[in-house]
Every structure is written in C-alpha cells, then in structure tokens.
C-alpha cells in the first residue's frame, strides 16, 4: 500500500471544527480550528487591519467571508493525509459549492499529486460533508464601493499594475500578506504614502511541518486562492470595489506538457473566472476580482516594466530569497533564472548582473533549469514562470542583440545556439506578434482595457 492510500486509510476524516472572530479598534483577528482526529490539531490565524470606527460585530456577510477563507486555508493541512472525508462542523455548502471546492483542490493540487505519484480523480479525491448551519446573509452588492485593492508581491508584475493604475488617476490601496521589505519598497518607489499599504498578518501552524518531517505528504498548494479570499476580506473592510491582480495569460499554460498539471492553477484565468462567479453567487459583496495583466504575456510585461526603471533596484520575486530579510534574489533557482531571461532582451548583461547579484547566464549549475525553461525537457520548472514560447523569444532576441554588438555569448545562450534553436530570420514578425498580443479572455472592464492598451504603447 502506498503512502497516499495508507494515510487515507489511517485518517479517514479531516474536520473543519470552527472559526473565531475577535475585534479590536484597530483590527479583526480570525482563528481557525482544523483536526485530523487522533493525529493532529491545527490552529492557524489571521489579523486584518480595519478602518477606524468600523465594526463587523453581527455582520453575517463578513462571517461568510471568514468561513470561506477557512476552506481555502484548510487544504494546506488536509493534504498531509488527504483524508477521503472532509467534514465541516461550522458552516454549510450547497452541492454546487462543494463541486467548486473539489475542483479547486484537485486542480490546485495538480503539482502535489504529480510529484507524489498520486493517481486519483476529482470525485475520488475528497468527499465534503456539512453538519454546521448555513450563514444567512443578505447580498450587499448594492453597497457603495470605490477604488482598487492591488495585491503586491514585490515582483515586476504587481509593480507594473500599481504604476499604471496610479498614473491613470485610479484610487489605489495596496495589499500584502505579512511584511516584506520588497513590498514596502515597491509602494515607496511608486511615490505613495506608507499607509497606502494594508498588511494582513497570517499565522501558519507549524505543527504541519512536524508532520512533514515525519514523512506525511507535502507539496504545493493553491496559495493564490488564499490570497483571493483574504483580499476579499480586506476589500470588504475598506469599501474597495476592485481587487486587481497581476496574473498574466502565460499562467494558463500547464507545467507538464499534455496534462492539466499547472503550478500556477490558482493564478490561471480558469480560477479567476470561477472565483468571480463564486463571489457573485455565494458571497455577494459587490467586489469585482480580476487580473489587470491577464491579456498580456510575461514577455510584454517585462518590456513594459523596464520602462519604469525606478523599480529595478527594489523588485524581488524569488521564493527562496523572500525567506531572508531583507528580500534577496538567491540567484540559484529557476524563478531567478526565468526573470533574468525574460528581462534579457531589454537590459544589458551588466544590468542583469547588478539586479541579481551574480552572473546566472554564465553559471553551468543553471543549465538544467535553462533546458526546462526553453522546452527541451519533459516539464517546465515547478515555479511561477512564463510560457516556453516567450522564453525562447526572449533568449533569441537577446542573442541577436549581443551578436550585433560583437559581444561574446554567455554560456547558456551559447548552449541555446548549439541546440539549433536560434532562428534570427523569424524573429521580427514573432516579436511584433508578441508585442501586439492581447488575450480577449479576461474580465477587464472597458475602462481598465483602455488604461492597459495605453500603457502597451511603450512596447511599440
């Protein structure tokens, strides 16, 4: 019997026992209680700042938001044993809602299932039952809302969204989960006051790590769904109309070719659409959730981002480096390499070295990641990276520029040419095609589309 089957057999039920809401003048604190009977109890928590004078006591809509965020949090703990039964004692879901969550967990855990060699179906993975009562709350979709809440991660994408919307005259607040130097630096570089940033504090229950160390199942979860529900709570508290993400069309591409396994599933348009519909049907806050950069590729975003050079010294999007204070580029992971490659057509080799603190393009230790990123491997790196086609375009354009300048190619670019992947005769039409690309599968209003298309002019 494999570990997956054994853990399910030994731990047939995972219980979402309760959530608790406490309020002070400055913040709302939320605590969740999850349990694997006979094995572990988990008590993660959150702290959300709130405007002065606001109270959520007796607010059924807010309570509903908290319950649903608990569902998004629970999967991180449930996955340790993947209990076949998920029992909710503190709330109620319709059959349609249960299907929604089962889809999110199955596709959002695609990488986790793949890495752990788990073969199952969406229906077989988990059964959701409810013994709690439904939270009755009237829709408040007609509540007066205005302004944007922009989740900031410290990377180039959210910096571009913030800069573009700020320059358009939009009222912008920024949102972050836990404090990071690169996030604060992004807001500062944008020229916005410090209190523009609303930071929620997330307390992860580290007893899960103890289980992982004992050999229980571990792996990637759909964290962006946690961002979605927590941003919904923040936007609700501050009366903001739009939650404006910075996920691009490239996030729709599967990580493992020919499969539905996508490291970025909860950043995909499919999840974005599902969340938008779920909000309208079951949360009813009147808040609109969408990604401003969804029509674009990572290649376009990189070209537009570098025109705002004030962000070059401060942006960071390395997951390993984010665990260090202050944030750094580790310069050793596939995410760092991808960002370097996607920027390479627009910056010099010296500028890239200055940003990342090392010369990754001449590092033989990066060759395996490079091969995965250019599509010469079975799968892309399990990271938030762009599509194979735009990585190839970026590398080809960088090679073309360096050759025209008589500059010796870095190791990785030399390998690219040796593999016969460099075709300069096709580059110009391909570059124009990418620069003009606009994916119509998006949820932008006409106003936001106009703002984005104006910013795109910098590419041309």
Average pLDDT over residues 344-365: 96
- The span from the CA of 159 to the CA of 452, in Å, is 14
How do 148-151 and 172-177 pair as beta strands? parallel
Average pLDDT rounded to a whole number, residues 365-375: 95
171 and 64 both lie in a single domain:
yes
Residues 125 and 230 in one domain: yes
For residue 372, CA distances in Å to 47, 261, 309, 391 come to: 39, 15, 29, 10
List pLDDT tens digits, range 308-333: 999 999 999 898 877 777 889 999 99
- Are 35 and 177 found together in one domain? yes
Closest by CA position to 314, among listed 127, 404, 187? 187
> pTM for this structure?
0.95
Alpha carbon distance 434, 393 (integer Å): 9
- Cα separation of 46 and 29, whole Å? 6
Name the pLDDT band for 447 (thresholds 50, 70, 90). Answer: very high
Q: Is the pLDDT assigned to residue 460 strictly greater than 70? A: no
Domain-ending residue, one of 275, 291, 307? 291
Q: Where are the alpha helices (DSSP H) in 334-445?
A: 334-343, 349-356, 367-373, 388-404, 411-418, 427-435
Work out the number of other CB atoms within 10 angstroms of the CB of residue 420: 7
Looking at the predicted structure, is the pLDDT value of residue 141 above 70?
no
In a domain, 449, yes or no: no
Answer yes or no: is 54 within a domain.
Answer: yes
Residue 122's CB: how many other CB atoms inside 10 A? Answer: 12
Q: Which residues of 298-334 are buried (b: 16+ CB within 10 A; e: fewer)?
A: bbbbbbbbbebeebbebbbbbeebbeeeebbbbbbbb
Distance CA 64, CA 67 (A): 5
Mark whether 284 and 339 lie in a shared domain. no
Residue 318 included in any domain: no
Angle at 245 between CA 69 and CA 357, to 5 degrees: 110
Q: The domain containing residue 408 runs over which residues?
A: 324-437
Q: Looking at the domain assignment, is residue 314 inside a domain?
A: no
Q: Let me know: does 341 contact 349? Beta carbons within 8 Å.
A: no
Average pLDDT rounded to a whole number, residues 278-292:
95
Q: Are residues 164 and 79 in the same domain?
A: yes
Q: Is the pLDDT of residue 424 over 80?
A: yes
Mean pLDDT of 439-454: 97
Distance, CA of 355 to CA of 375 (rounded, Å)? 25
Overall domain count for the chain: 2
Q: Are residues 143 and 269 in the same domain?
A: yes
| CA 446 to each of CA 20, 42, 99, 170, 452: distance values in angstroms, whole numbers, following the listed order | 40, 44, 32, 14, 10
Evaluate if residue 380 carries a pLDDT over 90.
Answer: no
Q: Are 344 and 373 in contact (CB under 8 A)?
A: no
Cβ within 8 Å of residue 210, ≥6 positions away: none
Let me know whether 120 and 232 are in one domain.
Answer: yes
- State yes or no: pLDDT of 426 exceeds 90: no
Please report the pLDDT score of residue 459 as a whole number: 76
Q: Is the pLDDT of residue 1 over 70?
A: no
More confident residue, 280 or 251: 280
The DSSP letter of residue 37 is T
The mean predicted confidence, pLDDT, of the chain is 94
Q: How far is CA 148 from CA 8, 142, 200, in A?
A: 43, 17, 17
Residue 179 lies in a domain: yes
The pLDDT confidence band at residue 257, using thresholds 50, 70 and 90, is confident
Residue at 422 is within a domain: yes
> Which residues, other chains included, contact 342 with Cβ-Cβ below 8 Å and sequence gap of 6+?
298, 299, 302, 386, 390, 391, 394
Mean pLDDT on 129-152: 87
Q: What is the DSSP string of 138-201?
A: ---TTS---SEEEE--SSHHHHHHHHHHHHTT--EEEEEES--HHHHHHHHHTT--GGGEEEEE
pLDDT digits (tens, 9 = 90+) for 167-176: 999 999 999 9
Are residues 146 and 189 located together in one domain of the fold? Answer: yes
Q: What is the end-to-end Cα distance of the chain in Å, rounded?
A: 58
Same domain, 357 and 260: no
For 153, list phi and psi in degrees, rounded to 5: -105, -10
Residues 365, 237 share a domain: no
φ/ψ region of 169 (left if φ > 0, alpha if ψ in -120 to 50, else beta) reads left
Cα dist. 137→233, 325, 405 in Å? 15, 42, 65
CB 145 within 8 A of CB 286: yes
Q: 105: Cβ–Cβ under 8 A, 6 or more apart, which residues?
A: 75, 125, 126, 222
Q: Which two tokens stand for residue 202?
A: 């997330």
Mean pLDDT of 196-210: 97
The confidence band for 139, taking pLDDT boundaries of 50, 70 and 90, is: low
Hey, what are 410's tokens?
Answer: 């870095």
Identify whether residues 329 and 285 lie together within a single domain: no
> Does a structural domain hold residue 98?
yes
Segment 222-251 shows an average pLDDT of 96
pLDDT value at residue 381: 82
Q: How far apart are CA 444 and CA 294, in angstroms?
A: 8
Query: Nearest CA to 405 among 362, 366, 343, 350?
Result: 350
- On whether both 16 and 144 belong to a single domain, the answer is yes
**Position 339 in a domain:** yes
| DSSP 8-state assignment for residue 109 | T
């Amino acid at each position: 019997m494999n570990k997956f089957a054994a853990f399910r057999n030994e731990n047939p039920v995972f219980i979402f026992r309760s959530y608790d809401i406490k309020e002070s003048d400055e913040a709302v604190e939320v605590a969740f209680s999850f349990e694997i009977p006979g094995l572990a109890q988990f008590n993660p928590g959150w702290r959300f700042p709130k405007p002065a004078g606001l109270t959520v006591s007796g607010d059924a809509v807010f309570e509903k938001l908290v319950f649903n965020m608990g569902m998004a949090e629970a999967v991180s703990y449930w996955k340790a044993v993947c209990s076949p039964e998920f029992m909710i004692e503190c709330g109620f879901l319709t059959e349609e809602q249960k299907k929604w969550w089962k889809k999110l967990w199955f596709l959002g855990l695609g990488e986790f299932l793949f890495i752990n060699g788990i073969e199952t179906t969406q229906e077989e993975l988990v059964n959701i039952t409810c013994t709690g009562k439904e939270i009755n709350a009237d829709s408040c979709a007609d509540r007066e809302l205005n302004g944007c809440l922009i989740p900031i991660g410290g990377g180039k994408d959210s910096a571009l969204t913030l800069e573009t919307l700020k320059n358009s005259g939009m009222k912008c607040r920024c949102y972050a989960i836990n404090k990071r130097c690169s996030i604060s630096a992004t807001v500062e570089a944008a020229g916005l006051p410090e209190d523009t940033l609303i930071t929620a504090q997330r307390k992860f229950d580290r007893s899960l790590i103890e289980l992982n160390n004992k050999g229980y199942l571990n792996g990637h979860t759909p964290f962006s769904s946690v961002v979605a529900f927590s941003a919904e709570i923040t936007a609700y508290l501050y009366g903001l109309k739009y939650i404006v993400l910075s996920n691009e069309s490239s996030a729709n591409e599967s990580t493992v070719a020919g499969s539905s396994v996508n490291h970025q599933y909860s950043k995909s348009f499919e999840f974005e659409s599902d969340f938008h519909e779920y909000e309208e049907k079951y949360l009813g806050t009147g808040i609109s959730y969408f990604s401003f950069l969804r029509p674009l590729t990572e290649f376009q975003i990189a070209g537009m981002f570098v025109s705002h050079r004030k962000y070059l010294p401060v942006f960071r999007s390395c997951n390993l480096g984010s665990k260090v204070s202050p944030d750094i580029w580790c310069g050793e992971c596939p995410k760092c390499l991808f960002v370097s490659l996607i920027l390479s057509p627009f910056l010099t080799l010296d500028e890239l070295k200055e940003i990342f603190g090392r010369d990754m393009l001449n590092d033989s230790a990066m060759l395996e990641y490079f091969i995965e990123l250019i599509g010469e491997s079975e799968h892309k790196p399990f990271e938030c990276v762009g599509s194979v086609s735009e990585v190839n375009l970026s590398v080809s354009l960088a090679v073309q520029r360096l050759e025209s300048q008589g500059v010796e190619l870095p190791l990785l670019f030399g390998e690219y040419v040796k593999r016969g992947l460099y075709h300069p005769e096709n580059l110009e039409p391909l570059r124009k095609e990418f620069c003009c690309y606009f994916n119509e599968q998006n949820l932008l209003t006409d106003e936001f589309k106009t703002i984005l298309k104006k910013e795109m002019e910098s590419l041309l």
